[in-house]
Amino acid sequence: MVEYFIYRNTHRKRARTHLAECRMCDHGRWQPTDINKRGIWLGPFDRGQASEVVGQLVRDGIDVQPCNGCEP
């Protein structure tokens, strides 16, 4: 089963979807080095669950985009 994670940057009001094995995600363990970046990992999710979470984030006004590296 493919797992998805979503990194939500609460400071910038945006989120990025990632495949679990993405180097920028590392199964939800990656942490930004810039102390001004604030965020949380959501997941792991299957595809359906990830779609539901993305839909809710969009309804909440969050800019959600796929990761440029793993392109989920």
- Predicted TM-score (pTM) of the model is 0.88
In this prediction, residues 59-67 reach a mean pLDDT of: 97
**Amino acid at position 38, single letter:** R
Q: For position 21, what pLDDT does the model report? A: 92
In this prediction, residues 37-63 reach a mean pLDDT of: 94
Identify the residue whose tokens are 């363990």.
29
Per-residue model confidence as pLDDT tens digits over 12-49: 899 999 999 998 888 888 877 665 567 889 999 999 99
> Which of the 8 DSSP states describes residue 39?
E
Q: What is d(CA 25, CA 70) in angstroms, rounded to the nearest whole number?
A: 9
Helices then strands, counting H and E runs in the chain, come out as: 1, 4
Q: What is d(CA 59, CA 17) in angstroms, rounded to the nearest whole number?
A: 16
- The token pair that represents 2 in the structure block: 């493919």
Q: Is the pLDDT of residue 11 over 70?
A: yes
